[in-house]
Amino acid sequence: MINKEDLNFFENQSLFDFKGLFFKILSYWKWFIVSLLITFTIAYQINIRKEKIYRLETTMVVKDENNSFFTGNTSLVFNWGGVSDKVQTLITTLKSRSHNEVVVDQLNYYINYLEQGKYGLIDAYGRVPFSITINKNAPQITGNVLKIKFIDASYYELQVLFEESSVNAIVYATNSIENIYVSVGEFTQKFPVSSPIKLPFANFTLNLKPDANNYIGKEYYVSFSSFDATVAGYRGISVGTEMTAPSVITLALHGTNKNRLVDYLNETVNVLKDRQLKQKNQFASNTISFIDSTLMAMETSLKLSENELNQFREGKSIQSLTEDGASVSTRLLSYDVEKDILNRKIAYYNTLQKYLKNNQDYSKLPAPTVAGIEDPNIVSNVTQLIALSKERSEIAYSLKNNKMFERFDNEMEAYKNVLLVNIESAKKAVEFDLSAINQKIANTEDAARDLPKQQQELLKITRKYDLNKNIYDTFLQKKAEANIVKASNVSDIQFIDTAKDIGGGLVGPKTSVNYVIALIVGLLVPFLIAFVSVLLDNTISNIDDIKNLTKIPIIGLVGLKNTDSNLSVFEKPKSPLAESFRSIRSSLQFMYTKSGIEGSKVVMLTSSVSGEGKTFCSINLATVFALSGKKTIIVGLDLRKPKIFGDFNLKNTNGVVNYLIGQKQLDEIIESTELPNLDVIISGPIPPNPSELILNERLSLLIEELKKTYDFIILDTPPIGLVSDALELIKYTDAVIYVARQGYTKKNMIAIINEKAMRGEIVNASILLNGYDNRNNYGYGYGYGYGYGYGYGSYGNGYTEQDVPKTFTQRLKDNFFKKRKKHKK
């Protein structure tokens, strides 16, 4: 007897079977295979369509290239602060936008040369037989591809497809976008090679390369990219230093076109070299410009003083100074030269001071050494001002963010303020020295008054000439020094290895990564689908599901139907399916013996809902009783949805309904079957009041009369979960078999029979699991049910009929004939 407390416990408990979940998910193995096939196919297609990615390098070294022509007091180059500071500055410069803008602009890398590859357009830079020279002040179409087909050596055809009435075009001179109106459709026009084309959306000249050959009749493609987007792509250049050689910089670039990588790497270094050398020569260039303007003025003064000296000597006997006069002249010249130097320093300070206060561009300042100034503070600050001003002017044409200008302006303002303080301090020192020199000159001039009058006049003219000549010669010497410095300067940046395509360099695509991703996705997607499906699946999948829900015993397992009709046991009496019903028969007989039930037995088969196979089980259970020699009858009491008549090729005209309403007698409704010992009473016409008929007293009389004739009475009843008819029939039964179907019956339906058993309304209740497919189970055996006592394998041969699995072709053929059969019906 089932304990009611046991039923309550199993109905309310919540168990999670991880092992069962795992094997249920594993039962979706076909999904995993299909998913992996799909993902690996996608990964393969992606891999074969990806262009190869290469990595090329160039190496340069940064040195302090000291000019061998520099003297101890020559300061005509920038002070970079040593190699370490130089390297860090260069690394920052190489990755800066302003530097890469210059490189992209010089190489015209916003022009894309393409050709048709196996799976699409590919970069053909360096391989096309022509080059494009654009008019940077005119618009060039973006977002569309221009097709170029060479008709002959002198003409080419330009084609472009316009899908909309307006297109975007970029003007590279101003880096601005314009909207151009065009005619929808395909534009086609022929143009001569090397002649400028002027269209609303394209303005360029196509020039053939000197080595162009075998291009006539071929098609190429050209497109124009955003200048900023192109620059942004190259700012990702890899720049690093060697641990053992900090002055060595390695540049690396990834891309699909080796020619493009080589040109960019070499050009970026050349641009850097030219820029660094230009900055290095900035002082020398400014000094030469300053000296040239000074020499022009000094040359006029020197000629005037020379003419004055010659005119004085004409007609006079005095051609030169006396010994005393020469001595005075020498001393005065020395003082005058020193005074001139001090005056030039003061003049430079005044000019510099005024220039700093009234101007913002300091790139044209001459070197302080041109005025004899060697104060390290002034020289250093002037150097930094020139460098910052030069850099600011270089990026002015392309800079879009005013914050960068503010940074330059703030730094220059700081240097300017410090420099102004230094100038004031230096001027005071120079003015003090000038006062001392003026005193010396005054004393010497007093001594000159003792000379004869003509000697004094000659001394005055000679003094003026000698001073002008000395100054002129000094500036000539400084100009020569500056030219020598400029000519002999070399860049501190030198190539170690230029970028070059020597084969190799392939680094991608990473096909293995795509396959790993395909593996992960191919397993994850079906796993998630299967996991959700299993979690949402509330149907009974195996015996453990039933055991976890109820203490009602499982009387047996019935496999999948192996015949077209429901008479499976009759048609294949030695099949494993037939053996499963014989096992159920044995279990019922054991139950009756244990319960002390003798004589005729009434077995009721019911289920929770329609479609769980209770009629199929009723027919075949009755069959095994009949085949064992027991007089058996099936009574169709599912008055709402009768089915049994069709399996026995009977007409549903006379049956239980006719008996219950008094139209027919018992012997008139009993139908014989082709099976020995098996009779059947069909339901009959569907009545309007099936529940009331079940409550009819004639039903009790019917059961009692049948018990007199038959050993086993099988009641095929309506689903207990849908209508109450089956509940009214329980009182007539000796055993109740609740049919559950694998993958169909909901788990919560077990609560219905649990409740009936708990109330004592059901006697000798048991559960039959129908439609059991061992492939959907996960490895438990019970020693009864499907294949009971025999099973598969060599031992079973001779005892059971083994169903040979059908081939794929046979299954297709069977399905085809089934469809045709249904269609004919």
Find the CATH number of the domain harbouring 733: 3.40.50.300
In a domain, 764, yes or no: yes
Nearest Cα neighbor of 123 from 134, 132, 114 is 114
Do 673 and 627 touch, CB atoms closer than 8 A?
Answer: no
Q: Are residues 586 and 531 in the same domain?
A: no
In a domain, 760, yes or no: yes
At 801, which helix (H) or strand (E)? Answer: none
Domain boundary among 276, 304, 324: 276
Instruction: Write the CA distances from 193 to 34, 109, 112, 197, 295, integer angstroms.
Output: 55, 21, 19, 10, 53
Q: Are residues 483 and 343 in the same domain?
A: yes
Q: Are residues 228 and 303 in the same domain?
A: no
Per-residue confidence (pLDDT) for residue 183, from 0 to 100: 93
Residues 610-642 as b/e (b if ≥16 CB within 10 A, e otherwise) read: eebbbbbbbbbbbbbbbbeebbbbbbbbbbeeb
CA pair distance 20, 540, nearest whole angstrom? 12
In a domain, 109, yes or no: no
Letter for the amino acid at 260?
R
Residue 773 in tokens: 């497919």
Domain boundary among 455, 488, 521: 488
Place of tokens 């990964």: 43
Is omega for the bond preceding 509 within 30 degrees of 0, making it cis? yes
For the chain, how many structural domains are there in total?
A: 4
Q: Are residues 40 and 69 in the same domain?
A: no
Q: Are residues 774 and 669 in the same domain?
A: yes
Place of tokens 């069962």: 20
Per-residue confidence (pLDDT) for residue 223, from 0 to 100: 96
Residue 181 in tokens: 């109106």
CA pair distance 790, 577, nearest whole angstrom? 11
In a domain, 13, yes or no: yes
- Give the range of the structural domain holding residue 678, as residue numbers without chain letter: 543-824
Q: Are residues 634 and 610 in the same domain?
A: yes
Place of tokens 């004899």: 372
Nearest Cα neighbor of 766 from 587, 582, 563, 510 is 587
For 511, what's the count of Cα atoms within 13 Å in the CB-facing half-sphere? Answer: 13
Per-residue confidence (pLDDT) for residue 710, from 0 to 100: 93
In a domain, 25, yes or no: yes
Q: Are residues 647 and 791 in the same domain?
A: yes
CA pair distance 514, 521, nearest whole angstrom? 10
* DSSP conformation class of 539: B
CA pair distance 775, 542, nearest whole angstrom? 11
Q: What are phi and psi of 398, to 5 degrees?
A: -115, -10
Domain boundary among 250, 276, 302: 276
Residue 693 in tokens: 């008929």
Planar angle of CA 717, 721, 725, nearest 5 degrees = 40
Q: Are residues 779 and 666 in the same domain?
A: yes
Other beta carbons within 10 Å of 104 = 23
Burial label, 6 (beta-carbon count in 10 A; 0-12, 13-18, 19+): middle
Q: Are residues 756 and 735 in the same domain?
A: yes
Laid out side by side, the sheet with 185-192 consists of 121-123, 111-116, 219-224, 146-150, 155-162, 185-192
Nearest Cα neighbor of 288 from 481, 139, 109, 118 is 481
Instruction: Write the CA distances from 391 to 121, 216, 384, 404, 661, integer angstroms.
Output: 40, 47, 11, 11, 111
In a domain, 496, yes or no: no
Nearest Cα neighbor of 526 from 11, 32, 26 is 32
Per-residue confidence (pLDDT) for residue 394, from 0 to 100: 60
CA pair distance 29, 393, nearest whole angstrom? 68
Residues 6+ apart with CB under 8 A from 77: 67, 70, 280, 281, 283, 284, 485, 489
- Cα of first residue to Cα of last residue in the chain, in angstroms, is 49
Q: Are residues 576 and 695 in the same domain?
A: yes
Do 158 and 219 touch, CB atoms closer than 8 A?
Answer: no
For 157, what's the count of Cα atoms within 13 Å in the CB-facing half-sphere? Answer: 12
For 676, what's the count of Cα atoms within 13 Å in the CB-facing half-sphere? Answer: 4
Task: Output the DSSP codes for 78-117.
Answer: ----SHHHHHHHHHHHHTSHHHHHHHHHHHTTTEEEEEE-
Q: Is 17 helix (H, G, I), strand (E, B) or coil?
A: coil
Residue 578 in tokens: 């037939």
Q: Are residues 603 and 526 in the same domain?
A: no
Place of tokens 């019906």: 825
CA pair distance 458, 333, nearest whole angstrom? 14
Q: Are residues 208 and 324 in the same domain?
A: no
In a domain, 525, yes or no: yes
Per-residue confidence (pLDDT) for residue 166, from 0 to 100: 94
Mean pLDDT by 10 residues, the chain (825 residues): 46 56 80 93 88 92 60 43 67 90 95 93 94 95 94 95 94 93 94 95 95 92 95 92 86 94 95 83 72 76 75 64 71 79 82 79 70 77 77 58 68 83 85 84 75 71 76 77 72 87 85 90 91 81 84 89 85 88 90 86 88 89 91 89 85 88 89 90 88 84 91 88 76 89 86 80 85 61 35 37 53 55 48
In a domain, 698, yes or no: yes
